[in-house]
Amino acid sequence: MKIIVKKFGGTSLSDIDRINRAISYIVKTKSAGYKVVIVVSAMGKETDRLLTLTDNLEEYRESDDLSALLSAGEQISSSIFSIMLHKQKVKGQSFQGWQVPILTNSGPNNAYIESIDTKQIIKSLKLGMTPIVSGFQGINKANRITTLGRGGSDTTAVALAAKLNAVRCDIYTDVDGVYTTDPNIDQNAKKIPKMSYEEMLEMASTGSKVLHTRSVELAMKNNLTLQVLSSLTKETGTFIVDEKELIEKEIVSGVSYSKNEAKVTISGILDKPGISAKIFSLMTENNINVDMIVQNISQDGISANITFTISQKDFDITKSVIEKNHNSLKYKSLSLDKNVAKISVIGMGMMSQAGVAEKMFKTLAKNEINILAISTSEIKISVLIEEKHTNIAVKSLHEAYNL
Amino acid sequence: MKIIVKKFGGTSLSDIDRINRAISYIVKTKSAGYKVVIVVSAMGKETDRLLTLTDNLEEYRESDDLSALLSAGEQISSSIFSIMLHKQKVKGQSFQGWQVPILTNSGPNNAYIESIDTKQIIKSLKLGMTPIVSGFQGINKANRITTLGRGGSDTTAVALAAKLNAVRCDIYTDVDGVYTTDPNIDQNAKKIPKMSYEEMLEMASTGSKVLHTRSVELAMKNNLTLQVLSSLTKETGTFIVDEKELIEKEIVSGVSYSKNEAKVTISGILDKPGISAKIFSLMTENNINVDMIVQNISQDGISANITFTISQKDFDITKSVIEKNHNSLKYKSLSLDKNVAKISVIGMGMMSQAGVAEKMFKTLAKNEINILAISTSEIKISVLIEEKHTNIAVKSLHEAYNL
């Protein structure tokens, strides 16, 4: 059986017309000889609507009742999709997480998939039916409903495609692919036809929100081809594949940015071994993710300054954790700044090519943009700059690398 | 364990305020020393909303996808109820049909409950939790979602209460009990404090839509006390109990009416044995339910007239079935009339008391209301009259029996 898994997000299912459009892609793929398994998110703003129905969610967030509530959104869209398929003479069969079943850890709200039993899905396909699986949901060993957290439906689709040995997993979303940079910032941005998992992962972690990191990692682990495409156009999207399949590797394939950063500077700490370990173990204990780190000796040669970046959502907790430990850290001053942005250039070809970093720093300098911190990986260089320079930095880098 | 099952209908759950009001009854019953199991319908107009989300339901009504779609309504209300219970320091636990499980026949849309496994519910109660069970839904042997059809949530509540040996099943609805007649027709209508299953069944089948027949039959079979009450007032409702528990039986406990009738008259048929059998087997073959039957010899002494009543929904099919069989039935004329109403007086005491029917006929005669047909059971007398006389018939009978 040659299977393609197709996943439709909320905007692709927001009304009857869009669902019919999604169905037209199913019909086309089936007539090309493939079996299709469909994975759906909740329709349009349904998840938001469900969250407004009670008034005490804040005090009771971690519960399997919340998972039961939210998973109703996908239950509605999968059953409606199946009902509407009948118009096109396709016999659908809706599957909730517990019906597959998709077994997760205990969860209940940010659960991980532990195993997928594909027997029922394969039986459905063999009977000539087209299964429509509710994304985002599963059950744990206690038979309680769980949900997979952010990007959960993408994860369901990729995990199912991997388990079914699918030819490919198509992710239909509201953009028609992955771009060399954000088209809202630079109108010269171009759609990337093909890229590697690693590049996509770096793109995702540096701010391009097309796919959730978790689903790309899962595809990479299983060497499953992904296609990101729009359900509103008929165009081919961006294929995400193993790097071996990329014949000519782009030195730089994209420029991404994130305004979701905050900079923390702790000044005047004693320049002694163990002091940074102390700071970062405090961060770990409080589940604060630290990204770039820069450490300097200050001019007096005795004390040091440490700068690092965190997510803006951790701003308040970081501030209070450091202040609470003033006595043990013995620093002179603490400053936090939300007006920063991270700019990254990403490309598989970078590994074998010198001068990529140099070009980046020169381009920024020519535009009089100060670099506050730098971090690099084999296929990515990121710099922290003042937020107000974001647009000009992205545009000038996009041009400098001929994207 | 002394358990009370409380079932809340859609109007009792239509917004956060009403859910909080429902929760106050749970808290009160719990502090009186009972364990409570809750059964919920979908919130307010949710079921109607779900049915508008697709445009081809008509052509695909009989499907488990439709059951999956509709059951999402109860999944939402049970999980929200559980989440909101936490405000009152009550630890809730929501159960969908498949989690209990409530096993039904294959269904998928008008399924019957075959068995309920109460292990999980009892476990939940023993752990100090309050289970909230989604009404109206179950699963069949193929692990597909089924729904119970009209009045389904009442059936879930009564079946569960019976299986749990509950002290009582409280059905919260939008009226505060069963009345001696419809208060919209006669403002002297009074709430009945206590009545028998048989009386409630006759009331239900003759037009009082407070409880679905199926749930009353199930309660009767299991000798389970029901209480019908409103979630909007704090008043005691109507208790429905075994007739043995009624110390003084009312001769007539209520007057009900139904405008949902149609009269069929077939004139000039041959007065020969077997001719009525032929007519009514035609009706049975076509799933047409026949209620009252009157047969007269016509004046010529050779031919006969047959009059009977059907539901208005069967009007068209009845007409076409009889017309199609004109040759074999050999009748002179056929007339159908929707402008009729059935008026019933109901009471357990009727069995041992003469003169009830006489009083009914006299009262109607005094008001110059012609009786078109009569049918009786041990605890009920029904008459068919012209629809325009409905209000005056109900009012005068309500007064005649001192209700």
B127 touches chain A (CB under 8 A): no
Nearest CA to B157 out of B140, B179, B172, B146 is that of B172
- Beta carbons of B182 and A138 less than 8 angstroms apart: no
Global pTM reads: 0.83
The dotted CATH code for A3-174 is 3.40.1160.10
Alpha helices per DSSP H over A143-274: 152-163, 197-205, 213-221
Binary contact (A65, B93; C-beta < 8 A): yes
Taking domain B255-400, whether its CATH number is 3.40.640.10 is answered by: no
Residues in A touching B50 (Cβ below 8 Å): 76
Residues in A 274-303 with any Cβ partner in B closer than 8 A: none
pLDDT tens digit sequence for A11-52: 999 999 999 999 999 999 999 999 999 999 999 889 889 988
Taking the CA atoms of chain B, what radius of gyration do you get in angstroms? 24
Q: Which of B64, B71, B94 sits opposite A65 (nearest CB)?
A: B94
| CA–CA dist A218, A222 (Å, integer) | 6
CB pairs under 8 A between A and B: 105
Residues in B 17-76 with any Cβ partner in A closer than 8 A: 19, 43, 50, 53-57, 59-60, 63-66, 68-69, 71-72, 75-76
Binary contact (B79, A66; C-beta < 8 A): yes
Residues in A 8-27 with any Cβ partner in B closer than 8 A: 16
pLDDT tens digit sequence for B345-376: 998 878 777 788 888 999 999 999 999 888 88
- What ranges do the domains of chain A cover? 3-174, 255-400
- Beta carbons of A73 and A43 less than 8 angstroms apart: yes
Nearest CA to B340 out of B291, B294, B390, B386 is that of B386
pLDDT at A90: 93
| CA–CA dist B403, B394 (Å, integer) | 11
Residues of chain A with pLDDT > 90, as a percent, come to: 60
pLDDT tens digit sequence for B217-269: 999 999 999 999 999 898 999 999 998 888 777 788 899 998 889 999 998 88
pLDDT tens digit sequence for A100-127: 999 999 989 889 999 999 999 999 999 9
pLDDT at A205: 67
Mean model confidence pLDDT for chain A: 90
Distance from CA of B14 to the nearest CA of A (A): 10
Binary contact (B71, A76; C-beta < 8 A): no
B contact test, residue of A19, A21, A94 with most B CBs within 10 A: A94
Distance from CA of A120 to the nearest CA of B (A): 10
The angle at the Cα of B147, spanning B146 to B148, to the nearest 5 degrees, equals 130
Binary contact (A75, B86; C-beta < 8 A): no
pLDDT at B208: 66
Residues in B touching A44 (Cβ below 8 Å): none
Nearest CA to A375 out of A294, A279, A254, A270 is that of A294
pLDDT at A330: 87
pLDDT for residue A207 is more than 70: no
Mean model confidence pLDDT for chain B: 90
pLDDT winner (highest mean) among A366-375, B28-37, B179-188: B28-37
pLDDT at B195: 92
Binary contact (B83, A56; C-beta < 8 A): yes
Residues of chain B with pLDDT > 70, as a percent, come to: 97
